[in-house]
Every structure is written in C-alpha cells, then in structure tokens.
A and B are shown apart, each in its own frame.
Chain A
Amino acid sequence: MCEFTVYLNGREDTDIVATNVIKAKVKAEYISLLDSAGKSYRVENAEIVTVDSIMAEMHLKTRE
C-alpha cells in the first residue's frame, strides 16, 4: 500500500517514528507527518533523505 513507514536515522524497528503516513511537509524547524488515522507527528530538526514508494518507506535524518 502507498502508506509510508517513516524512519529516523536508521531502518530498525526502533528507528520508526510513524507508520501509515500519507503526507509529509517540510517546515522551517521540523517535518510534519500525517497518518491515515488523521494523527499528526512532528520530527524536530530533521531532513528527508529517501522517499521509497516500492518499500513504502521514508527515511529521515537528524540535521548536522
């Protein structure tokens, strides 16, 4: 399905910050995520590294 599992700084289960994500928005200080249940998440001080539709994964990393 086209809902993403979002990882921060890795691809282990412990690196998951949100699942079933349908929208990601890059804001000045954070990345805003919205899942398909309508719940929002904020990931502070991060940037998007990869958006992978085949694996339904999005990878973020903490800004240096």
Chain B
Amino acid sequence: MLKIISTGKGGVGKTTTISTLATMMARSGKKVLVFDTDPSMNLAMTLGLPYLEVPTITEDKAEINEELDELEDGEALAVGKNIIENHSQINRDGIRIIVMGAIPEEGNGCLCSAIAIVKILLNYVDSPDCPEKYDVALVDSQAGPEILGRGLAKDFDCNLVLTEPTPKSAEVSRQVVSLAKNLGVRNSLLIVNKSEKESDIPKVAGLVGLPEENAVRVRYDHSVIDADWNNECLLDAYPECDAVKDIGNIKDRIEKLKV
C-alpha cells in the first residue's frame, strides 16, 4: 500500500489536492483510503460527504480506548477492524474516508491520542489482518510541521509538500522537508500551488531545499474558488481546468515514484 501525506502551511491547498488526487486514483481503479487528520476537517465534505454524517475518532475515543483495553497483548491492531467498520464512510467514488476530528471541548487536551489511534489504524490496514487491500492511503494533515513531529508519517512513501510561491509558505515547507527526511519518508514532492509564473519553481525549490526536478507547478486557477463556492467537486465541475490538469501531473509523478 502506497502511503502519502500532504503537508504545508495553512491554506496552501492540501485538502483540495488530496481530494482531487484521491478521486482521480479511485476513478482509475485504485482502492483508496483517505485520512483527514486536520482538526479543521474539510476533506469529507470536499469528497461529497455531509459534515455531520461522518463519525470522528475523537468523538468515539473513549469507546475505541475501551476496546483497546479489552484486547490481549499483541492484539492491538484488531482495534482497526472496529474503526474501519464503525468510524469511516465510503463516498460515491468508493473512497473510504476516516476523519480524526477536533478537540471536542475546551480544556480537553491535545490531539496526540487521536493521532496515535490513526497510527495504529494505518498499521492495521497495511497488515495481513486487514481483509480489504488498499492500493493507496492518503493523509490530509493539519497545517504546519507539527504532524511530522508526532511521527505520523514514519516510513511513508511520499510527502506532498504543498506551498504557495511565497517565502513564508516556503519556510514552513523547508521545516517539513527536514522533519520528513528524519522520519524516513522516502520521497518529497514539492507542489508549488497557486503559481502564476514558471519562475516560481526555481525560487521556491531553492528556499525549500529540494531539487527543481522534485517540484510540480499547480497554476493559479479561479475554478478552485468557484467549485468551493458552488460546493462542487473540482474534478466534476471543471475537469479541463488548469488546476485539474496540474494535479493530474502530480498523480503521474506519484505513479512513477520508486517505493
């Protein structure tokens, strides 16, 4: 199973990119699993599932924990079966969606425990115990480098490092690339999103510290904003737009990765 995470500063386009990639992959016959680990959870909605219909891990954390406690030593991965059955949904393209959720109430601590459950789940779906064999798992992460500090992407195949063509955005990506390398992520693909000039690529790649050949340019495209306003899937509403074509290039690059 190919494991991919999207990272970067807030608002750079992680959710739009992951949802479009997931839909493209599912429609080309791949069995796709997506995780929304962003507390500002939009991924399910972007993939066409109503926000309130998606059960989140944080909502049901106590129940999941109870099950973990009941399992014998060495059987913890079995908790993944329950999470897949009871805490995920499948959209019209057959993409299975798991939403980590947000902190349910004030003073309720951090999201580390929910991230830990996601890690166990990722190990479960990648193990022989999981009856469903997924071709790809895509993780839409929260903004900033913290998700990598939590070790979620350990030994992942690819980090999609999204950035706008600005120095501040590139600085967050530089931190992300460094952490991902130390975590053993095998490939980093720099996605320069909302780009209006070809010359953005060498400038941003230099700031982030990745070679230009690891970069993909996604052109600025107002169709992305229009699709959001109309609550439409970008791929369905504007299949020929520049952004969709460029995200298609990302898909091609992922398929050529050495993993």
Give the chain B neighbours of A34 by CB distance below 8 A: 68, 73, 76
Residues of B within 8 A of A23 (CB): 68
Minimum CB distance partner of B120 in chain A:
A38
A45 at the interface (CB under 8 A from B): no
Chain B contact residues (Cβ within 8 angstroms of A): what range? 20 to 34
Pair count A-B, CB < 8 A = 44
Report yes or no: B112 in contact with A38, Cβ–Cβ below 8 A: no
State A37–B113 Cα separation when bound (angstroms): 13
Which A residues touch B149, using CB under 8 A?
A: 1
B73 contacts A40, C-beta separation under 8 Å: yes
Min C-beta distance of A49 to chain B, whole Å: 22
Minimal beta-carbon separation of B24 from chain A (angstroms): 30
B interface SS class = helix
- Which residues on A sit within 8 Å (CB–CB) of B119? 36-38
- In the bound assembly, the distance between CA atoms of A32 and B68 in angstroms comes to 13
Q: Which of B83-114 contact A (CB under 8 A)?
A: 110, 112-113
Contact of A32 among B73, B112, B113 (CB under 8 A): B73
A1 touches B112 (CB 8 A): yes
**CA A25 – CA B65 in complex, angstroms?**
13
Measured CB to CB, the closest approach of chain A to B27, in angstroms, equals 32
Tell whether, in the assembled complex, residue B76 and residue A2 are in contact, meaning their CB atoms are under 8 Å apart.
Answer: no
A-B contact pairs, 6 of them (CB 8 A): A1-B112, A2-B116, A3-B150, A20-B151, A25-B69, A37-B120
Residues of A within 8 A of B (CB): 1-3, 20, 22-23, 25, 32, 34, 36-40, 42
The 6 closest A-B pairs by CB, nearest first: A2-B112, A40-B73, A38-B76, A36-B116, A36-B119, A38-B77
